Structure formats: C-alpha cells, structure tokens
Structure 1
Amino acid sequence: MGTVTLPDRVGLRALARILGSLEGATRLVGGAVRDMLAGEPVKDIDLATKLSPQEVIACLQKARIKAVPTGIAHGTVTAVLSSGPVEVTTLRRDVSTDGRRATIAYTDDWREDAARRDFTINALYADPETGELFDYFGGESDLAAGLVRFIGEPLQRIAEDHLRILRFFRFHARFGKGAPDPASLKACSERANDLMALSRERIADELLKLLALSRPVETVELMLSHGIFLPVLPEISTAAGLTALVATEDSPDAVRRLASLLPANGDIAGTVAKRLKLSKLATKRLVLAAGREETDAANPRALAYRIGLEAARDRLMLGNHGNALADLNGWTVPTFPLTGGAIVARGIKAGPEVARLLQKTEAQWIAEGFPDEARALAIADEVVGQEQSKR
C-alpha cells in the first residue's frame, strides 16, 4: 500500500496533532487523499476523527482556532486556519436514509466510516504523520486503473443518496479510463428516475461541475445513451453541440457548455434555467446564448455592444464562428457618447420623438463602427436634418 505527503498548508499539521493524529485518532480522508495519489492539486481538505464534535470544538477552542459548527447535526465542524478552512468530521455510520439525507450515529470504526462513502476512490484515508494509506475497499488500485466503482452494492449506495448517480458520471469523466464499471453503470441507469426526488440546486451543481471538466463529452454521451437526463433534463438529447464546442474553445466554461447541450431557443433555455434554479447572471447568459443566429457573425462588435462581450463570445463560439471571434480580441465595448440632450439641442421638442431619433442616431453610430463623439454629433445632425426635411 502506498503513501502520500501531507499537503503543504500552514497550520494543517498542527491542527492534525491537536486532534490526536499522533495517537491515531485523526486522519486525512476522501478527495484530498485521492487527489494526492492522482498527482492533482489538492483543493479541499477533510479530516476524519474518532473525537466527538464536542471534543473537536473543545480542542480547537483550547488551541484558539476558530471552530464553526457547519454540519454539526452530521458530525462536521470546520476549523478555520489562516491557510483556509478544514472540515473535521467524526467517524459515523448511517442509521437510515431517504435518498436525500441520512440519520447517522457515531462510531470509532474506520472501516465502518469508509463503508458509508460512495466510491472506493473516495474512501481513502492517510495518516497525517507518516502518510500511510488506509484503503478498505481497493480504492488505490481502482484509481490507478481509472475505475470509478461504488462501495458494496451500487443500488444500495444510490438508495442512500440519489445524487450519487450524477457523482458517478462526474468522477468517471474526471478519473475514468476506458469503459465504466458495468455494475455501477447498470445501477445508475436503472435508478435514473430517482433524480426527480433531488433538489434542482444539487442537480445543477453536479452537472456544472461535470461540464467544467477537461473531457466531459464521452461521459455526456454515456449519460444520454443510458437515459440519465430524461427524468430531469429531457431537453438534452444530443452531445453534438458540446462536441463541436470542446473542439474549438480555449478553456472550459460550464454555462457555455450547458448552452451547447440545449436547443437554440431562448424560451427553452429560460425554462431549464428556472428548473435548475440558476443564478440571475447564469440564467441571463444561458438565455442570450440560446438566442444565437447565423447573422451573429456579420458584425461581432455590434453584437457585443448589444448583448455584452461574454454573451457575444458565447454565441459566436456556439455558432462555430471562430473567425468572427477575432474581432473581439482586445476590444472594449464603447459607451455611446450622446444623450437625448443632443437631439433636443437640434430643435426637437422633448418627448418620445427624442428617444426615437436618439436610437436612430445610435444605430448609425454602431453601423459606422463606433466613431468618436464629433462624428456621433454629425450623425445626429444628419438624422435630425432628415426628419425635419420630411415635414
């Protein structure tokens, strides 16, 4: 069995010792251990401990480390270090589950704690002092083989938390090599309807995490072929748009990639965004991206002026207009230099007519490529002059 090196975080080793790592009471667990073994950067750090939540809080307070009871009902206390938060969770076992949440009981058995986790690669522990690995279900070899596999009976793991269906595909996209584990895939396909019981926020979070990965296409195609999207996102019926986007984009963007999976229809995009309870910003972006048209490439800067640089880039990338994108590189959207006062100053009485002529002036200013204020004023002269000549 291998070893790992403790992440280089200020205060982490001291924290582990405060919580009894020298006596074997506390270990690193989960994603941090997995990512160290995989040679990937460690983001979040979690510790598992035999200490009760109350004992953890007492130890932290004694050491003058801020303790936040972020998940106290499930045994989790967050220790706030200068280098970032560390979640500390008491060893536990599930007493009952309903697919969304679990009732737990504490234990001092490391294997029992590991058995309640989702995948073998996420049930790895490491001694903070020696780096020694503790692997109860073959996670180290699965990680090396690129195999994402449920611990124990896949259907039971899914029954405990339906979100594990989406997590299976996300981890397969990230760590998988070759074909997925047959038993795990079969269980996810059979229980896809269970996703309907989940909050849409949890679904959105997992989907966007999947789409932000470097190589999501094959996994999305796998999900489509096994009916995973049908219960909650039937609008996603093909990965063709995602395939084309990934082949041309310069960096992953989850919202843009989600737009590539949806029809080019603003109403549909709005419905999906509402269902997933996306933020106002993400919703607006998704809807604007869905409004893409072939004519977008005719004047990229005019498009960006109208809907914003980010939304314009989304549309051009999704429409496969790579050449037009070059027009936006290094370009800043200008501000129209005139107000209604410029129209009034040219003899037009304040009212709706001013707004109409200002819009006409602005349209011509855009068509001419956003010239300076002097030319904008000249355009206003022309527009007002044309209007007055009609009278």
Structure 2
Amino acid sequence: MILPAADWAARPSLARLADALGARDGHVRYVGGAVRDTLLGLPVADIDLATCLVPETVKQRIRAAGFRAVPTGIRHGTITAVLPDGPVEVTTLRRDVSTDGRHAEVAFTDDWQEDAARRDFTINALSADPLARTIHDYFGGLDDVAAGRVRFIGDPLRRIAEDHLRILRFFRFHARFGRGAPDAPGLDACTARANDLMTLSRERIAQEMLKLLAVDDPTPTIATMARHGILAPILPEIDADGVERLERLVAREQALAPPGDALRRLSALLPADPSLVDGVAARLRLSNAQRKRLVVAADADLGATPQALAHRIGSEGARDRLLLRADDPSHGLAALAGWTPPSLPLKGGELVGMGLSAGPLVAATLQAIERQWIAEGFPDVDRVLAIARERVAQAVDASR
C-alpha cells in the first residue's frame, strides 16, 4: 500500500532532511502517528522519522543539511532536527534490552521489524518510505486501521509488563481510533493487570487521563474502564454516577458548542465535593491553576445570575459550573457569550472625596457599593456614582 499524499510530507525542508539521512538508500522512514493519521485522513501534529543510522551520524547529517540538531533523547537514540516549519524527531532503530514496567534500556539495531516489534499497538508500528511512500506493515496494522481496532503487538500481557502506561494508552487509542467494543484480548489483559497502574508516577497517569478525556466523546471508553475496574486503582472516586455526569456533560458540550474540555470532563467524573476534588488534584500533581479550576467547578453554587457568578469566579469557572451543575445551562452560557467581567469603576479615594473618613469604613462601603452594582447588573459609571453618594451619606449619618 502507498501512503496517501499529504501536505506535511510535501514540505521541502522535510525532503531535504530525508535526503540527508539516506532516503535513497532506504536508511530512513516516516513512522508512527504521521503514517497512521494520514491513512485515517486526520491532521498530523508530529512528524517522526526512524533510521538505521547511529545517533552520532544522524546528528552530523542533520547539521550538514543546514539544520540544527538537538540531542533531546540521546540516551534512547533521538535527535530533534529543527526545521524552518517545525521540529522533527529522528530516532535510531532500537530493541529492548530490559524493561521494568516504567523504563526501558535499549540497544540500537538495523532491523526495521525488530524496532517495530517494540512498539505498543499495530496501528503505531507502520512505517513508510519517504520517496516511494510504500507502507511497511509487519503486524497487520493496516487491517486494524481499516477495522477501527486497537490491538497490542504480540502478547498483551507481555507488552503491559514492559510498560504499565500501555493500559491507559490502550483505552485512549481506542477512544480516538476504535470502533465498537475494545479488542477482547487487550481488554482482558488490561483488566487483569489494572493494579500495575499504581506503580506509575501520578504525573504520567494525569497526562494520559487528560489526553483520553480530550477525545470527541470519551464516555463509552470511560464506562468500559469503570465496569472492568481499570480506574479503581488510580481514581477510586469515579463511580457509575460519575460516568452518567460525564455523559450528560459531553451531550451538553456537543449541543451548545463549547469545545470539549478535558479538565471539565474530569470534574464531571468526580463528586461535587471541593475538599475531595482538591485531594484528587493534589494526588495527581496537577498544576496549581488546574487544581484551582477543579475545586471551583466542584462547588454547586450558581450565583444570582450567570454574570454575577462570572464576576466572582471568572468566566471559565462560570461556564464550567453552568455546564456541570445547571438544570439548563443554555441561557447562562448565552448571557456570558462575548461578555467580559468588568471592574468596579470606583476607587476608595473617590469615597474619601465624597466626605467619607479614611479608614476601614472606606473598604466596607466600597464592598457594599460593589455588591449593589453587581445586583443591579453592572450599571454604568453614572449609576455607580449615584450608589456611592447614597452609601457615603448613609455611612456619614451612621457615624454621627
């Protein structure tokens, strides 16, 4: 089979790089996601090359072609070629020497099939000649691409033992590329080895889960994972109710057109308990911003109006809460569309100029004015000044 023509493959700089690495002699191929996604008619985000040349030779040839060579993963044979229209990773063919479920020690090889055999799934083991565009398929990946089937290369249990993250990758790739039920041997192996996920770093788990939740509709896959006990070792807080909340959220996102958001979807899976959610976010070692967003989304308070809510917790937080907690979020989202929470057009010094004595009373009066301004729907500065004069007069009278 021939790789279909694609814009990414027609880049002059990429052709120059492939030529420098020996494309005419069969020394380099496109590999992995670029081949798979082109076959599926999907946009290609990352371009990876594999070569039988050793890393030092790769580095020399990249530089001789006029590109910068960065040894981003030199221990595992990866050199990044910095091209004018984006970086390209070039990796020397490898074979595994030893694995422990988290890390692998590799040796270099010149055997293309041996390198393909160490990849996780058949659809990721495809490679293509840059010149003839001939696709090389050692494990039935082309049939699996056509069938929408995510299948481990070889024995699924062995592949999981090599890298426990492959459990989550199996489900993520099925959610994105699969059709129908997951491959049965793969699902059985992931179910049997689900507890292996506890050996992984929390960061790797979080990254993979958020990638899974970012696909168009992760609900069927997440439901399968929940039924088979895959999530229990790493996210025991997720239950059947969480899957139902996720299903409702995805339906709302699709109907109301806000883009699907992985962090919001994680919030849907978790109970509406800010303290519990904060603990989960800390355990997953999410960033401070992600952690705060999850905690804010876990609160069920929808405020007096959508705009008042957005003023208090930010537009993103308000949209999250409306989509997650409101009976009908459509009107609230419409009210926030194109609207930016304004700042109160008044400072404490202006209150002093109106006759209020400097001190704690200024801050208290300013807060009261802001509450009324929000309750009245954020009127213009003339109305704010009128509210301020009323509040200052009341405060001065009260202090006499």
| TM-score normalised over the length of structure 2 | 0.94
Contact 2:344 2:370 (8 Å CA) reproduced: yes
Match of 2:388 in 1: 380
Match of 1:333 in 2: 341
C-alpha distance after superposition, 1:186-205 (max 9, x if no partner):
11111111111111111111
312-321 or 170-179, which deviates more: 312-321
Give the CA deviation at 1:299: 0.4
Match of 2:260 in 1: 252
Give the CA deviation at 1:350: 2.0
CA distance in 1, matches of 2:353, 2:295: 39
SS in structure 1 at match of 2:98:
strand
Equivalent residues in 2 for 1:233-244 (5 A)? 233-237=235-239, 238-244=242-248
2:56 to 54, 58, 78: 54
Match of 2:310 in 1: 304
* Matched AA of 1:4: P
SS in structure 2 at match of 1:11:
helix
CA distance in 1, matches of 2:160, 2:23: 32
Contact 1:4 1:126 (8 Å CA) reproduced: no
CA distance in 2, matches of 1:341, 1:10: 63
What runs of 5+ residues in structure 1 fail to find an aligned partner? none
Contact 1:66 1:81 (8 Å CA) reproduced: yes
2:192 to 190, 193, 204: 190
C-alpha distance after superposition, 1:69-91 (max 9, x if no partner):
00000000000101101000000
CA distance in 2, matches of 1:154, 1:49: 27
Match of 1:272 in 2: 280
CA distance in 2, matches of 1:65, 1:324: 51
Match of 1:160 in 2: 162
CA distance in 1, matches of 2:356, 2:395: 10
Give the CA deviation at 1:268: 1.8
233-242 or 133-142, which deviates more: 233-242
Contact 1:60 1:66 (8 Å CA) reproduced: yes
C-alpha distance after superposition, 1:330-350 (max 9, x if no partner):
212111011111222233322
* Matched AA of 1:123: A
CA distance in 1, matches of 2:359, 2:153: 71
Match of 1:353 in 2: 361
Match of 2:140 in 1: 138
Give the CA deviation at 1:325: 1.5
Contact 1:342 1:377 (8 Å CA) reproduced: no
CA distance in 1, matches of 2:322, 2:65: 55
Match of 1:317 in 2: 323
Equivalent residues in 2 for 1:7-18 (5 A)? 7-18=9-20
CA distance in 2, matches of 1:179, 1:374: 62
Give the CA deviation at 1:388: 3.4
CA distance in 1, matches of 2:374, 2:276: 30
CA distance in 1, matches of 2:66, 2:222: 47
C-alpha distance after superposition, 1:119-145 (max 9, x if no partner):
000000000001101000000001110
Match of 2:78 in 1: 76
* Matched AA of 1:190: A
Contact 1:10 1:83 (8 Å CA) reproduced: no
Contact 1:3 1:132 (8 Å CA) reproduced: yes
145-154 or 266-275, which deviates more: 266-275
Give the CA deviation at 1:229: 1.2
SS in structure 2 at match of 1:362:
helix
| TM-score normalised over the length of structure 1 | 0.97
Match of 2:211 in 1: 209
CA RMSD of aligned residues (A): 1.3
Match of 2:293 in 1: 285
CA distance in 2, matches of 1:184, 1:244: 28
CA distance in 2, matches of 1:372, 1:14: 61
CA distance in 1, matches of 2:244, 2:324: 11
C-alpha distance after superposition, 1:141-197 (max 9, x if no partner):
011101101000111111111111110000000111111111100111111111111
CA distance in 1, matches of 2:41, 2:156: 27
SS in structure 2 at match of 1:118:
coil
CA distance in 1, matches of 2:360, 2:236: 45
* Matched AA of 2:219: V
Give the CA deviation at 1:303: 0.5
Contact 2:98 2:106 (8 Å CA) reproduced: yes
SS in structure 1 at match of 2:217:
coil
CA distance in 2, matches of 1:203, 1:127: 34
CA distance in 2, matches of 1:358, 1:189: 59
CA distance in 2, matches of 1:27, 1:54: 18
What runs of 5+ residues in structure 2 fail to find an aligned partner? none
1:226 to 222, 225, 228: 228
CA distance in 2, matches of 1:196, 1:301: 42
Give the CA deviation at 1:2: 4.3
Equivalent residues in 2 for 1:16-165 (5 A)? 16-165=18-167
Match of 1:343 in 2: 351
Match of 2:378 in 1: 370
CA distance in 1, matches of 2:89, 2:270: 37
CA distance in 1, matches of 2:356, 2:288: 39
359-368 or 200-209, which deviates more: 200-209
Runs of 4+ in 1 over 4 A off after TM superposition: none
CA distance in 1, matches of 2:197, 2:340: 43
Identity in percent: 60
